[in-house]
Amino acid sequence: MESSLPKLINIINLLAAYFMEDVQVLTKCFLNDGTLQENLDKLSTAPFLAVIGDSYGLGTEFIVLCEGLKLISTDNFFEALAYCFCCYYVYNIEYPVQVVATLEFIQRYLAGINYPGSKNLKKKKNTTHPKVVHLAQLIKQLQ
């Protein structure tokens, strides 16, 4: 598991690349906390995952921010990703258009919230982003 951790962490980058979205609206690497502080005014006010370190796989600290405020800091990428995603869900924050398909994929297929065919989805009459459905179908074919 340890050797595959950097590959797993890059899932966000891969999803955003597949959907042709700007991952830096959701997450970005900073060399140190000072570099993050210098760039706070340039970051999205939406929930954001800051990685402190040379790369996502070599991050030493993962910080979740919302509206420029530091909400939590952890040494676990997946814990920080869960907190970041939960900010959108719990506070009912609309997904930024630059990463809407990436976050919808995480919501529906990784977090299992409003998974297509669920009762909640039918009540709300929401439709799933077509790119998200297509990727899910491709993954299903591989299983």
Task: Give residue limits of the domains in the chain.
Answer: 2-142
- Which whole number is the average pLDDT over 81-90? 91
Looking at residue 1, its pLDDT comes to 46
pTM of the model: 0.78
| 126 or 119, higher pLDDT | 126
Residue bearing the bigger pLDDT, 132 or 75: 75
Residues in Cβ contact with 56 at an 8 Å cutoff, skipping those fewer than 6 apart:
6, 9, 10, 12, 13, 27, 29, 77
Q: What is the pLDDT of residue 34?
A: 83
Cα separation, 27 vs 35, in Å, equals 14
pLDDT digits (tens, 9 = 90+) for 38-80: 888 888 889 999 999 887 777 889 999 999 899 999 999 889 9
Tell me what pLDDT residue 110 has.
Answer: 84
What pLDDT shows up at residue 71?
Answer: 94
- Provide CB contacts within 8 A for 55, sequence distance 6+: 6, 29
pLDDT given at position 5: 59
